[in-house]
Amino acid sequence: AKRKGRNIWQWYRPEEGQRLKHSVTLRHEVQTALRENQFEVYYQPLVDSLTGRIRSVEALVRWQHPDRGMVSPGDFIPLAEQTGQIVPLGLWVLKQACQEVADLNTGREQSLRVAVNISSLQFIRDGFLDDVFKILDETGLPPRLLELEVTESVLIEGADHVIGVMEALKHKGIRVALDDFGTGFSSLSYLRDLPTHKVKLDRSFIQKIETDRRIAAIVQGVITMAHHMDMIVVAEGIETLEQQEDLARRHCDLLQGYLFARPMPMAELMALPDILPVE
């Protein structure tokens, strides 16, 4: 190729070309995957910090790729957010999770609540609320058994609109949890303005809780503050008994992590006993 000027060279920068190709491929592949049922929803229990019994589950998407094997969401969710395909994918996960948990609850004494991750892009999109309500209607899952997990970064999209959507969800009986709490840009004080029901302390805090006294102080502060605002606190990524004991001692309400259970397919979840009644 002939050199025709700076812009042309930039245009052909190989890494740019790669990235473009990658996202085009991904767009195509996500479409195919949705059509051919390559996605699956796994469920990870959240347990009561005192009894270790199951209180609810979080839905986590899995991609069983025909050539690449199991692709982790950390590898395709950020790309799907860039291409916008998180919207159809997110709706698929939401519907699938509501359907599977509604089915699980049928004929059982204790109902299970399910939390579904919602990307900021999806959350602020026009028509999101209608989509959620429609899915509840279609699947028959009672609104109080659905929780939506959003990260605090959703606030970048405009706090007023976001709060409006949260209020509408709350009005319908759907709960909102603030995911990855503490990792974002914002201060603790904005919690006051958000109609959220739950905060999830990020795993990065939990990992350091025993070695870093300042981290431990932040964790304790968040728990105390959230309780004063009538919110429930979840600690993510519990891997050791020491972490469980530490957080139970600090009155963290719910725990989630490999110590209790890894994310699992519905068939495995169905076989678990010991589900507590929803509060």
Q: Which residues bind Ca ion (CB under 5 A)?
A: 117, 149, 179-180
Residue 117 interacting with ligand C2E (CB under 6 A) = yes
Q: What angle do CA 167, 171, 175 make, to 5 degrees?
A: 75
- Site of tokens 């052909």: 12
- Residues counted in the chain: 279
Stretch touching ligand C2E by CB under 6 A, among 1-9, 25-33, 253-261, 264-272: 253-261
Residue 234 interacting with ligand C2E (CB under 6 A) = no
Of the pair 179, 253, the CB lying nearest Ca ion is at 179
Minimal distance in Å, beta carbon 98 to ligand C2E? 12
Stretch touching ligand C2E by CB under 6 A, among 6-14, 22-30, 182-190, 236-244: 236-244
Residues 6+ apart with CB under 8 A from 158: 124
Query: Are the CB atoms for 75 and 26 separated by under 8 Å?
Result: no
- Give which of Ca ion, ligand C2E, none residue 74 binds (C-beta under 5 to 8 Å, depending on kind): ligand C2E
- Give which of Ca ion, ligand C2E, none residue 77 binds (C-beta under 5 to 8 Å, depending on kind): ligand C2E
Site for ligand C2E, residues 37 to 66, rule: CB under 6 A = 44, 60-61
Site for ligand C2E, residues 176 to 195, rule: CB under 6 A = 179-180
- Give which of ligand C2E, Ca ion, none residue 139 binds (C-beta under 5 to 8 Å, depending on kind): none
Query: Are the CB atoms for 123 and 150 separated by under 8 Å?
Result: yes
Stretch touching ligand C2E by CB under 6 A, among 17-25, 26-34, 70-78, 102-110: 70-78
Of the pair 151, 230, the CB lying nearest ligand C2E is at 151
Full 3-state SS string of the chain:
CCCCCHHHHHHCCHHHHHHHHHHHHHHHHHHHHHHCCCEEEEEEEEEECCCCCEEEEEEEEEEEECCCEEECHHHHHHHHHHHCCHHHHHHHHHHHHHHHHHHHHCCCCCCCEEEEECCHHHHCCCCHHHHHHHHHHHHCCCHHHEEEEEEHHHHHHCHHHHHHHHHHHHHHCCEEEEEEECCCCCCHHHHHHCCCCEEEECHHHHHHCCCCHHHHHHHHHHHHHHHHCCCEEEECCCCCHHHHHHHHHCCCCEECCCCCCCCEEHHHHHCCCCECCCC
- Give which of Ca ion, ligand C2E, none residue 87 binds (C-beta under 5 to 8 Å, depending on kind): none
How many residues bind ligand C2E (CB under 6 A)? The answer is: 23
Nearest residue to ligand C2E on Cβ basis: 257
Minimal distance in Å, beta carbon 198 to ligand C2E? 13
Phi/psi for 174 (5° steps) reads -90, 135
Report d(CA 214, CA 251) in Å as an integer. Answer: 18
- Residue from 144, 208, 239, 272 touching ligand C2E (CB under 6 A): that is 239
Stretch touching ligand C2E by CB under 6 A, among 30-38, 67-75, 191-199, 267-275: 67-75
Stretch touching ligand C2E by CB under 6 A, among 21-29, 132-140, 234-242, 245-253: 234-242
The residues of the shown chain that bind ligand C2E, judged by CB under 6 A, are: 44, 60-61, 72-74, 77, 86, 90, 93, 117-119, 179-180, 236-239, 256-258, 263
